[in-house]
């Protein structure tokens, strides 16, 4: 309660965040066959072996049951919704407002009437109530699969919860997702606390070229439903392969930590551990197989001081932070 009543003044960026317009890049295919564009929070455009998949699309100004209150964006979407490239599928990991945005989903469903939606068990019923035809929806239980033009989409375990109101808690499933094409492999962690099942995911679905894991919205008092940067790095170790793309930070004020603390902490901890971190500016399309290192762009906005570096370039002190919340 003390943290909520006396919030840190750095929970909101002090200046506009740098955004990159990805639309011209989407006009060409990635040279490596794999490209990802982080559009904020957990919204990704994943281009894998000729297939484009959009994850947890959120274009609304707030993630809330009402339009006049609730967590508000730090930045506009890097690209308008209508500027998205042709999509082969949309993945909806679970039904929380910051992942299942009714306005965005209905706009996409109307504008892209042939694009299938893949989601977790039970979420399809809500989509049908919103008017989306059942034939467009594929619900998956954990370890079940769907085919998207030669890319296998697998729903995999996560340690989280679901619900959009006081009466529907955990009535639908939450999932992470894996994409396996003929040449490339991507793991989208969505929302999850640290769980030993990441090791099972690595054994059954790995190796990965890219691993997207959430690092934001955490607190030591909030249990095991989100990871935070330290636990995200532990999860990455269990998955055991791939370039690590941190997500679920830098877009909404969903926690009581400074807005850039997750990025600074994961960059500090990851540098010492030798983890290949991919931390592009919002909207910048990047090819993970051409990874070249971290550009800490958030430091130009944030007042969080970077950790001092030793002569070898590793941080002298590490501040692991763990815990979670939605």
The ranges assigned to domains in the chain are 2-300
Do the beta carbons of residue 150 and residue 70 sit within 8 Å? no
Instruction: Give the tens place of pLDDT for each residue, 108-165.
Output: 999 999 999 999 999 999 999 999 999 999 999 999 999 999 999 999 999 999 999 8
Q: How far apart are CA 148 and CA 16, in angstroms?
A: 37
Q: How far apart are CA 247 and CA 212, in angstroms?
A: 6
E strands, the chain, are 34-40, 43-48, 51-55, 89-92, 117-120, 137-140, 145-148, 151-156, 176-180, 185-188, 210-214, 243-247, 285-286
Instruction: Give the tens place of pLDDT for each residue, 20-66.
Output: 999 999 999 999 999 999 999 999 999 999 999 999 999 999 998 87
Q: Tokens 């929070």 — which residue? A: 41
Tokens read off for 11: 């929970």
Instruction: Give the tens place of pLDDT for each residue, 232-263.
Output: 999 999 999 999 999 999 999 898 899 999 99
User: What is the pLDDT, as a whole number, of residue 309?
Assistant: 35
User: What is the pLDDT, as a whole number, of residue 183?
Assistant: 98
What kind of architecture, by CATH, is found in domain 2-300?
4-Layer Sandwich (3.60)
Instruction: Give the tens place of pLDDT for each residue, 251-303.
Output: 998 988 999 999 999 999 999 999 999 999 999 999 999 988 898 999 999 65
What mean pLDDT comes out for the span 172-183?
A: 98
Nearest to 159 by CA among 206, 93, 101, 90: 93
């Amino acid at each position: 309660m003390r943290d909520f009543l006396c919030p840190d003044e750095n929970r909101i960026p002090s200046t506009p965040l740098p955004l990159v317009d990805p639309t011209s890049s989407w006009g060409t295919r990635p040279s490596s066959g794999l490209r990802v564009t982080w559009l904020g929070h957990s919204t990704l455009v994943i281009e894998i072996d000729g297939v484009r998949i959009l994850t947890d699309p959120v274009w609304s100004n707030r993630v809330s049951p009402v339009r006049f209150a609730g967590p508000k964006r730090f930045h506009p979407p890097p690209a308008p919704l209508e500027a998205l490239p042709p999509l082969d599928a949309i993945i909806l990991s679970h039904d929380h407002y910051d992942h299942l945005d009714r306005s965005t989903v209905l706009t996409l469903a109307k504008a892209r009437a042939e694009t299938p939606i893949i989601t977790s068990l039970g979420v399809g019923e809500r989509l049908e109530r919103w008017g989306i035809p059942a034939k467009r929806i594929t619900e998956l239980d954990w370890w079940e699969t769907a085919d998207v033009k030669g890319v296998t989409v697998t729903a995999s375990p996560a340690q989280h919860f679901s619900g959009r109101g006081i009466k529907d808690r955990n009535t639908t499933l939450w999932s992470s997702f894996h994409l396996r094409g003929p040449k490339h492999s991507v793991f989208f962690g969505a929302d999850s606390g640290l769980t030993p099942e990441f090791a099972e995911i690595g054994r059954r679905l790995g190796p990965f070229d890219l691993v997207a894991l959430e690092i934001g919205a955490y607190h030591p008092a909030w249990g095991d439903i989100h990871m935070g940067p330290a636990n995200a790095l532990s999860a990455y170790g269990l998955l055991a392969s791939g370039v690590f793309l941190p997500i679920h930070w830098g877009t909404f004020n969903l926690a009581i930590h400074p807005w850039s603390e997750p990025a600074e902490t994961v960059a500090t901890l990851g540098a010492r551990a030798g983890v290949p971190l991919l931390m592009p500016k919002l909207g910048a399309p990047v090819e993970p197989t051409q990874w070249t290192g971290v550009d800490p762009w958030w430091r130009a906005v944030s007042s969080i001081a970077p950790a001092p570096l030793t002569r070898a370039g590793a941080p002298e002190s590490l501040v692991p932070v763990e815990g979670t919340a939605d």
